[in-house]
Structure 1
Amino acid sequence: MSKISNLLEMIIILQYKELTTASELSEMLKVDKKTIYRYINSLNKANIPVHTRKGRYGGFYIDKSFYMKSADLNEEELKALLMASQTFTEKIGFIYEKDLKSAVHKIKSLHINKNMNLDRIDNTGGFSIDSIGNVENLEHKIYEINFSMSRGRSLNINYFSINKNDLTMRKVDPYDLIFKEGAWHIIGYCHMKDNVENFQLNRIKSLKVSNNIYMRPRTFSLKDYLDNHWGLFVGDKIKIVIRFDKEIASFIQHTKWHANQIIDELQGGSILFSLYVDDIKDVKQWILGFGKNAEVIEPKVLRENIKLEVEELYKKYYNF
């Protein structure tokens, strides 16, 4: 990521988080701490009021009077940007696809307007992720999350799941609030999944600080989590979970298939293989290549697609 992009992300993080350490900024931006201090110096030279609080509970903060406003765009202009980001792709020769999408995400994250309904332009119908995220004011969400982390209180969130196309209630122990790829995320322990998960703020319809007390584990490392789950923060990825039988488990485990793959061993020798993709078409044929030794667990839509294809194959061979 360029220095300008990093500086913009730093301003956004400092604008919404009360206090942020050099270590936290280093982990979020994937640069060393010396670079963070150089960035802070550059912001001060540009008359952006970033200050340092020394001591055990110190860090960087920005004057409350400072506020970086978004461009005054209307709904049609924002929709045009969204459409452009999905039209101009590398497939048609546009080499700046990732930069354009990143810029649009950042504009959306700053353009907070509760009355604006920016439906995702993908013709899929159902819930609108953007309208879900705009139900509750972003500043209020961030305030509540910061409050819950400072007091060690769990959050109850009403969260939109892409895979299930539904809202679910989650109890979450927030470990970190980060800004990545133009969007805000909570990294925390999900009681329902019994695992550390990533929750995008624009998919949270509502949240409430509970009275349940939690402690962030000493063993948790934000840097390690980001290194192992980078795919989660690049756009709206779809989670794919496949169960591979023990007959081919060793082959799957000893091959690097995808940058963000996760493999969990199961009793009996089989494994669960998880990854995040932009489109289920990317992996459908790959899964079918393993025949009866692979079973899609989620998402449901991919499982149904493969089921239909198998049924069509059965008809061809059964009627032969």
Structure 2
Amino acid sequence: MAKADQLLSVLWLLRSRSRMTAEQLAEQLETSVRTIYRYIDALCMSGVPVEAEPGHGGGYRLPPSFREAPLFFNIDELKAMVHAGRFAEQAGYPYIEPLRQATGKMQSRLNEEQLEELQRHTAGFEVIQPSVHRADETLLQEIERAVARSSTLAIRYEKWKGTEPEERKVNPYGLVNRLYKWYLIGHCHLRDDMRIFRVDRIAAAVLTEHSFVRPESFSLRDYMQNRFDAGQEKNEKQDQPVRLEGDPAMIAHLRDNWYMRERIVSHTPDSITLLLDKSSLEGFFPRFLLSFATTLRIVQPVELRQRVAKLARELADFHGTDIPVETK
């Protein structure tokens, strides 16, 4: 029996061309003419209306009604797959090269009119995301294989970025991509409990010979959401409200900032209230506000206003030293 993928290849080729000879099909599929005859017979027996035209200029063809009908995917389904591939690539999908090959094969089987329409739908669609926290593709593939095989992983994990990696053994339940960061969720042997591991902090991962059974009722989505919701609720109790007023364009810029979006409590065109933790208020945020100069005013807390004012004075003192005085 002819292989299903080879039969589909013959079908795609006939669908994308007006007609093809057995020799042309054999050349495209790198097989013999005799094998092509068997494939054509198998297609006809399965109900595909392959028409044979003898003589010079003849060959095999499909009726126009069959060629114009969607074989597996209509144009909306085709563009959805191409668009989804672009999202996957920006998310750091670990099998991006096979994905590109698959979409490439799909597009190579389209006729000229279909390909032009698909290109019109995809030419003006792009996904661009920051490359921070990118996980290694080979590492992601190794973890994915461990998940699929239910194999325990031996990992070297940096609990905090820049610290000495710790040796851990983990039963990997799955990979989750959240806000373009990859997380491994699994049962940690050291802690004898479920844990979430940032993949960009895993220095190495090796499959072991030990296997495990993942609970059938376990949900990656539910576990991840519950953990982050619980952490967010805990942090919000310790966070401090920050109210800013100023230029509507600058307020809009803050609302669109990827870090600020999840910390917005309320906003109007000329004001915004955020919830920020202590480390942010004492660390990067005062320096961040300096970049807005006089377009934003800190309403509360007073301590934040004082920190920004102190930084501005230090900046003025630093850059104001040793500047030659112009004389007329």
TM-score (norm 2): 0.34
Structure with the largest fraction of helix: 2
